[in-house]
Structure 1
Amino acid sequence: MAVQSDSFHLLNDTRALFLKHLGALLQDCGELSAPAIQAIQNGAGAYFDEMASTNRRGTFAEEASGLTSSRITLVGEEDLELGIRLDNMSARLFESTGGSLWRTHLRFVTLLRRPDLPKSANPIGPKGIAQGLTTMFDAAGAATIDKKLELLDRIEACLLEGLPALYAEINEFLERKGVDAAPPSIIGTQDGPASVEAPAAPTNAFLALQQRLLAGLPGAAEIPPVQAGGGAAASLLNQATLERLVERLNELDRRGAFEQKFAPTQTGGGMIPALFTPNGDIASPPKVLKSAQLGIPTTANEGLAIDTLAMIFEAIFANPAVPDALKAVISSLQITLLKVAMKDSSLFVDAQHPARLVVDRMGQAILGLPIDVPARHPICARLFEIATRLRGDSSADKSAFETALSDLDTLLAERNASFAAATTPYLPLINQLDRNDEAALRVRQALEKFIESSPPPAIRDFLEQTWSRLLRTAWLEAGEHGAEWLEGLAVVDDLLWTIQPKADPDERKTLARRLPEILKRLRAGMARIGLSAEAEAAFLDTCFELQTRALRATPATTPETPAADLFPSGVSTPAGTPISGKLQVEQRILATLDFADYRPTPSRALPVKVGDWLEFPLADGSQAMARLCHISPASRRALLINPETGLALAVHPAILERQLREGEARLSPLYAFSFRGFKWTSKRSCCWGVAVSSAPISSTVCRSAASKSRSRHVAANAPRHSSCSRASPCRKLTSAAKRRWPNWFAATMP
């Protein structure tokens, strides 16, 4: 390992450079005062020193050895929640800075002569920054948890943007100083146990299912593995048997043996079937064709193909999120898809196979339709027509599916065009919301200049909560050069002048002469915004008291300030509780989910794009599905529309980003429909979409449940969070996961 001889001085130089750049990054964010940035630098510096001076960090088992109750400290709920949020932030920063951070890690391995240095112990890594934030929040003292979490979200956005460049600068510095990157092969790990015998996971989920099914059969060791493109050459059945099998499948298809007798579920028959069916029988679910029904050996490749598709069809038909109409369409294509699988085994390995894409497109085409959509709906009717044409093509080759795929693309293009047409009328309303945001920002900037003079709390509250409304209206009507805007600012300036101590006799005379005219202009402004008489009288009484002090040259009393002002001065940030509203122009109504006051747009882009279908909560607690049709270039406000339900909703980007982050909103499960959404689990055969997952507890749910329940971590028989560093699982998080993944817990929990 090549390294500069004086590594002690080089470590100090690296530490100083890191803290300098970190401070500059935080300063550029504009969210923190100088004492706050210094506190973060102190905490990050302490972490750097600890990591650089420690010869080896033990594993969790080693560190926990000998742990007794006297060494365990209980933490409050708010401290626990803040710790969880910091842990999750560290995990996201690790992910977003992986490449640049890893390069610095390899150089620290050389500089510290620590081949066993874990990735999580990088002296300049996100954990050190999290420790710095903890130091800052400890110094903040009485600040509320909500204020801390809001500030943490804004700081994280800045770090996500700036840390890659910071780490690249540190890497270049170490390279210039002659610190070589250690070969990755010599680096040990303590981040977790590694299995050297675990086979590599197949890269194709569909092929993985087939191989998993094969591995579970008796005598599987003697069966050759399924390979891509094997076709008839890999078959265990002779050609004559295959021809008879295909003919039998054709006969079943002609008889419509696997067509689902679709009945709309929105009728009373879905609730009391005995009153609406001839024999009182409940309608049976769609049939699924399996190898045993056709007399095909289960261990033959053809039998595996049949049973693999059967598992997928069963998962589709059992998924309550899939409308019955779509189940009926796919059910009618079972035999057609089965013939494709037997003729062309690339279906199992080619993610772009036309047959797979056809089912994917069908799932996309029905997005946004209600779960009980009738078969006569125009989109459903088109899907049935396409499926009928596919079944009528006896060849069942790629060309037939390519034709169907073209028809489906045309259908999707027509839907996209209809959404574009539905979006256009709402764009003026979105522009109106953006203009309101701009007005609020201009008012905020104008008032900050007055608030910098530290007026009494009553005056400050009046400016932020009352006079700001007048200024916003004036800006919207005539802009910053309008007479009413300029008059509103002049009144504020004169008001603040009237409460300043007047030691000179001439100043006192001027105040006595001008005061009636200033108060008259002040009353006119309060009348314009409709301030109640009681509120107006109370504020004028306060002004009278302050102006009397000014005439007597007595300074106004100021409240005590905290020892360390960690949060920036200026116009205070609103509490941040989303509120529902609506804008209406003629007969068109746009629902809104926004903040009561101005809230800056998050610095990072939304993790969704135009065209995505989202499920999200409404104000009444119900769930809705809509298409993201527009993202405002000015504010990144999202416009969600679903003509089928009459929903049109504009969401502030900070609210939507939080909902997505905490799992309250998500991409629709049907958006990842069919083969693309197909995953293995360790306890169940398979899942479709996101109904069951191989990792049911995610960091998203961790953040959501933590922020809502602020619960303590306790020992429980439950899965652990992948990004949570706590040794104990969380009982309330398990409850949240049970609601989201009931099938997984039903199969795995006692």
Structure 2
Amino acid sequence: MASLPDQRVVPLARQARERFVVHLGGFLPELVKVCDSHLTAVMGKSGTNSEMALRRDAWTHFQKHQDTWHNLCRKALQRSLQPGFSSTNSASLSAPGQLELVAEGAIDDQIMASRLAMSVLERTSTELNALRLRVQYLERREELPRGDVLLPDVMARLLVDQWIAAGLPREAWPVVQEALAPALATRMLAAYRLANEFLVNSGVMKDIDLQALVKRTPGSRTGSASDRVGEDRSGAASMPGAAGPLRAGVPTLNMEVHHETRMMTSATPLARARMRAQGVLGRLKRMLMDRVGGDFEATQLLPPSPGLQQAMQRSTALDRADSGLPVTGGSGPDAVYVSAAHVERAANALRQRTTELKRAASTPTERATIEVVALMFQSILAEERIPPSVRVWFARLQIPVLRVALAEPEFFSALQHPARSLIDRMGSCVMGFESNVSTAALEAEIKRVVQVIEQYPETGRRVFQLVFDEFQKFLATYLSKQGSASRFVSVAQQVEQKETLSVQYTIELRKLLDDMPVRDEVREFLFKVWVDVLAVATVKYGVKNEETSALKQAASDLLWSASAKPDRLERMRVIQQLPGLLQRLRQGMGLLGYPNALQDQHIKVVGDTLADAFMSRTEPISKDDLDRLSKRLAHLEDFLPESGVGDLEFDSDSIEMIIGVDASNIEMINQGGSQPNEAMRAWAVELQIGAWFGLDHNGKFSSVQLAWRSDRGQLYMFVSNNGHCFLMQVARVASFLQAGLLVPSEEEALTVRATREALTQLEANPERLLG
């Protein structure tokens, strides 16, 4: 487009910022309400004493200072439009080679702001990147100032700084951030979009050409490493503070180190992979827009031309009849594809069909779409790690995917498009199988998925979303029922239930006994032994079972017996009940598999305490307190916290203790790795069922598949090709990820890799798009 007159460009950039700031300023009252509502809601949740105290203090302080915080944020936003405005965030970064003192708490503030900024960035990167480039173009600069209010980290730091300035405690910020982050991301996305629309309507860069804007410095890195990170210009450029190309001659080492450190600590590797993938899609979309036209920016459905529609219908009919696609073992839906030769013949048939479809196309957009989809499927069919029988079923998805891509140009820019998600999930599940492993059930499900899509060719996105959801449900049960995994899933679920109940029982017992005069010996026995007894009994017998109830009653009897007995009748009652109580205690410890010698040690400690109580050497407990405690113990499950139990500890003994299953073919990994940071913990939670990994454990490397995750998300089961199971708690998974002992087999999704390879061929020969 033609350059705008110089006298217009700066006012337009300023007006865009003003619209952005005004839009966010109008959201501040709502943001305060979001925080207030969230703090009020979490007040009623159960948790540890420290957690509940923190929530209570956060709510109290916010009631006092919310108006102050709102006013300070409003004024800070207004100041952000003044010349020379610089956030604390940008000021806190030292110049290269310069040392400076940092205020107490500044690092904590920076971490809090960075986490909030990363949450916003994951939702807004596309709009932010477009706005950043338009503003850079208007202001004739290579990058936005580091304190520019348009950057998410500046806005996040503004909110955090005013939070501290308003007298609100730092400890309360994480409590509100979980509600504040999604609300802020939604509003900032709308603000970016509003500013972009204003600039486009003013004639500023309707079509963005990043290749003309982003220029590498003479000393920039090249080669494969650059291709993996630097080539995805739209993804890398979207990071705040490193948004534009670096100026030649300016020292950049300190900035690069800071930027990389922030990425490593604030974003999960999966999030960074998504950024790189989004960059690949961005490059493809820019090429299509440059070579073909603006139809690829369309958001409405674009039906194919009549001639192309008829050609695709003929292709779909051929697929259903298996005509043109090689088969063995018969034809029709029961056909079986068995060798690489069949895959090659299928690829040839699809190439021929692509040529026919391009002849039938009536517009350049249609021909380009056909070519890109064809190149993607050629890449998929060439993936030798996918079994041939699955690859040929993938081939039959080319026409349905083409139909979706023609109708929805968003397919070329949206990583989470249902068609992409389905192919990626099916591919990730079969790419790790060895040739000697039977995948009949999984192949049958993929076959069913393809046939359902072929039966509903006109429904497009909806049918892909439907079968994707069904495939996810299938994976949730299929993998955990294969081989040895099926024998251990229910056991592992019970182990998690037992450990969770132990923690919850401990929390509740501590609250019950907090104000009671109970000897330390009895407290220790209850917290370290008896909570495990109650947990195992609940898992084995059930909550309402008589045996479980009797063990709960034993805890009440022990507390009563351990209190001072000055009354002669009470001492007689202790003497009568003592044999039964001690027998019940031994029975409970027997559930835990304690040997007789260990049981004797605990019984001796308890017996000495009861003897002191008999002689009134312990403090008395009132009858009302004992009655209240007894009733509470009888219905303990009604008062347990629903969450907040933290990381649980597991071992192989827990499996054999609960139901006596031989754990020789399942390995509990509870050591190794490094202390995981928050990003690694978040990555562990995001791992998908069916994904393949390389596991390095005890000096032995295994290819494993994530087959199962427990209901509470505490336990993960990985299964190797030889059927060996590895059970790990979520914290240990994060540790292994951080230490590089658990490595994803695939760094890129199948469709992203196919898009990258298609893009490489198109960049080498762009004429084939319209040929």
TM-score of the aligned structures, taking structure 1 as reference length: 0.45
Query: Which is richer in helix?
Result: 2
TM-score of the aligned structures, taking structure 2 as reference length: 0.44
